[in-house]
Amino acid sequence: MTETGEGVQPVVAWAVAESLCQIAQTLAQRGWLPATSGNLSVTLGERGGPFAITRSGADKQRLQSSDLVVAGERGRLLTSAVPGQRPSAEANVHAGLYQRLACGAILHVHTVSNNLCSDLYFSAGAMTVTEHELLKALGHWEPQAVLNIPIVENWHDLEQLAEAVVLAAQPDVPGVLVRNHGIYVWGEDADTALKHLEAFEFLFSYHVMRRLLTVQGAGV
Ligand SMILES: [Zn+2]
């Protein structure tokens, strides 16, 4: 992966690129990155400094190291492998979260379950999850743990969106839902962010299924 078929030199280290490309493929195979949506990033060196992020419009199923660009403050492009490549349009959300939180990687996906939950609980400002084993994967081991997952409006102005997500982000809840859009999840590194994302998505799917069963009178 040090070089693509076109001979383009990637702009991030092989290990970083390999890790993000593998995660992208895993998520894409699950259908969590439909229609080139979603974006993934990892910090390079110092926290809050430059980060590698998927370029705008990249097909995550076939993500290559040359599809990663380096962005900095406010998500602005610093380096790209191919002239004309741009960071994901939501790179400013990643930049804001890196500034606010001590995290090393951010994953953003659009799924049916996270969209449904974000819409169902938008008016409450958060989705509350209690007494579930998967809360441990999100760092909550205490008995009767309660997790409030913040939900923000899907602002079309991306500066406004970044501001809302960063403001809602809590250090003890590694994710923020955006109404009818998706979720931003973070972790100290890419593997931890993936673990958090899998836990969130399990909880969302479980919740949607449970509500459906309740509506159908299955008595759960
Ligand atoms: Zn998005």
**Beta strand spans in 131-198 (E):** 146-152, 175-178, 182-187
Q: How far is the centre of ligand 1, averaged over its atoms, from the C-alpha of 182 (Å)?
A: 6
Looking at this protein, which amino acid is placed at residue 136? K
Q: How far is CA 196 from CA 7, 64, 116, 201, 217, in A?
A: 35, 24, 19, 9, 32
**Beta strand spans in the chain (E):** 39-43, 51-54, 68-71, 77-79, 105-109, 126-130, 146-152, 175-178, 182-187
Q: How far is the centre of ligand 1, averaged over its atoms, from the C-alpha of 181 (Å)?
A: 6
Q: How far is the centre of ligand 1, averaged over its atoms, from the C-alpha of 203 (Å)?
A: 20
- Can you give the residue range of the structural domain that contains 26? 14-215
Task: Specify if 8 maps to a domain.
Answer: no
pLDDT digits (tens, 9 = 90+) for 123-152: 999 999 998 889 999 998 888 889 999 999
pLDDT value of position 118: 98
Domain at 127, CATH number: 3.40.225.10
Task: Specify if 93 maps to a domain.
Answer: yes
pLDDT category, 5, cuts 50, 70, 90? very low
Task: Specify if 196 maps to a domain.
Answer: yes
Task: Specify if 3 maps to a domain.
Answer: no
Task: Specify if 2 maps to a domain.
Answer: no
Whether the pLDDT of residue 4 is over 50: the answer is: no
Residues with CB under 5 A from ligand 1 (ion): 182
Task: Specify if 179 maps to a domain.
Answer: yes
Task: Specify if 6 maps to a domain.
Answer: no
pLDDT digits (tens, 9 = 90+) for 166-201: 999 998 999 999 999 999 999 999 999 999 999 999
Question: How many domains does one find in the chain?
Answer: 1
Q: How far is the centre of ligand 1, averaged over its atoms, from the C-alpha of 110 (Å)?
A: 7
pLDDT digits (tens, 9 = 90+) for 14-52: 788 889 999 999 999 999 999 888 999 999 987 778 999
pLDDT value of position 169: 97
Q: How far is the centre of ligand 1, averaged over its atoms, from the C-alpha of 22 (Å)?
A: 20
Task: Specify if 102 maps to a domain.
Answer: yes
